Amino acid sequence: MSVFISRGYDEHEAVLFFKDRETGLKAIIAVHDTTLGPSLGGTRMWPYENDDEALEDVLRLSQGMTYKSALAGLKLGGGKSVIIGNSRTDKSEALFEAFGRAVDSLNGQYIAAEDVGIQVADLEIARRITPYISGISEGNVGNPSPATAWGVFNGLKAAAKYRLDKEDLTGVKVAVQGLGQVGYGLCTHLKEAGADLIVSDIVDQSINKAVQELGATAVSSDDIARQDVDIFAPCALGAVLNDETIPHLKASVIAGAANNQLAEPRHGLALMDRHILYAPDYAINAGGIIVISHEGPDFDRTAAMREVAGIHDTLLNIFKRAEREKLPTGEVADRIALERIHAAREAKKQSPEKIKLTG
């Protein structure tokens, strides 16, 4: 793969490759942008078919983190890392120590957290080697998923207010795809708010739990996107908004946690053409990164969760601007993020030292 011309490269500040012969570690750390602060993003462990696939994934994901943190107003940049390997069979203490050394070599330019295939226990091993690890129990943040679910719930309420003119979710029908850590948490908040739940998962146990505990109605995974509901909340897979699903959507709002919900950017326009309000994924699912940004010895969960609830207003601003400028909501989110990064770059150029010298 030619790195510099790949779509995901997008002017990454640094892309580092690590191979440790003794432990078998093969990892890539991508630092996309540190204009707003150190780059923070999860570590994914995945048995990639080849190195190109791993590289493409890490580049795309780290770029996404830059936009997510900028839009959430955090003093963080975007980065990500991948460990090439099978998370069930290839983990060892030595491997995560070697990964800790790799992270440490960037001197805080990159801060790791959990992602697919990585548990808190793995990062706790790396934390023995380097301080540049977040999302672990030290500092009391722990699992960020409940914060993500709280953010999605608040974002969904903003969308219901904007498009359905409903401040109160009583009787509002919501179809939730995926009852994992975030999806189930979202369902709990929705149930408390009086919404009617229609759910799907590929694991029967999760479905039975939602039916019994939350009074949800279960449907098959193939049918969830075409339910006659007010809101569709994708909380499982990416690329769920595509040429096949969009023509059949009956919901007038899409508001869920899944990353990369649009199969391609043009699908944002397709939703707009059908007058379906889309809550951009990285705007609505930023709750986890927001609490992680509060991590430290003075961690205050109440203050962090209050900031997560601010996703409500972030989304309202996106919806209003999208309507004003006749643009898809996802494009507006990108523009706001880029405007913040460019403004910070300009401010850096006008640093006090420079002003003193020139003035």
Is 236 a residue that touches ligand NAD (CB under 6 A)?
yes
Is 6 a residue that touches ligand NAD (CB under 6 A)?
no
Closest to ligand NAD by CB, 187 or 235: 235
Question: How far are the Cα atoms of 56, 135, 147 from residue 60, in angstroms, in the given order?
Answer: 6, 21, 24
Q: At what angle do helices 145-164 and 311-325 cross, to 10 degrees?
A: 40
Is 206 a residue that touches ligand NAD (CB under 6 A)?
yes
Nearest to 106 by CA among 85, 130, 84, 83: 130
Is 145 a residue that touches ligand NAD (CB under 6 A)?
yes
Q: Write the Ramachandran bin of 165: left for phi over 0, alpha for psi from -120 to 50, otherwise beta.
A: left
Is 182 a residue that touches ligand NAD (CB under 6 A)?
yes
CB 190, CB 170: distance < 8 Å: no
Is 179 a residue that touches ligand NAD (CB under 6 A)?
yes
CB 97, CB 126: distance < 8 Å: yes
Give the pairing of strands 173-177 and 196-200. Answer: parallel
In the set 19, 26, 68, 80, the catalytic residue is 80
Instruction: Kindly indicate which of the ranges 17-25, 79-87, 210-218, 229-237 contains the residues binding ligand NAD, using the contact rule CB under 6 A.
Output: 229-237
Instruction: Kindly indicate which of the ranges 201-209, 271-279, 300-308, 327-335 contains the residues binding ligand NAD, using the contact rule CB under 6 A.
Output: 201-209
Q: Is 68 a catalytic residue?
A: no
Closest to ligand NAD by CB, 105 or 188: 188
Instruction: Kindly indicate which of the ranges 22-30, 31-39, 75-83, 173-181 contains the residues binding ligand NAD, using the contact rule CB under 6 A.
Output: 173-181
238-267 residues in contact with ligand NAD (CB under 6 A) are 257-259
Minimum CB separation from ligand NAD for residue 255, in Å? 12
Q: Which residue of 100, 135, 183, 268 would you call a contact of ligand NAD, by CB under 6 A?
A: 183
Closest to ligand NAD by CB, 25 or 72: 72
Q: Which residue of 106, 235, 253, 304 would you call a contact of ligand NAD, by CB under 6 A?
A: 235
Q: Which residues bind ligand NAD (CB under 6 A)?
A: 144-145, 148, 177-183, 200-203, 206, 221, 235-237, 257-259, 285, 288
Active site residues: 80
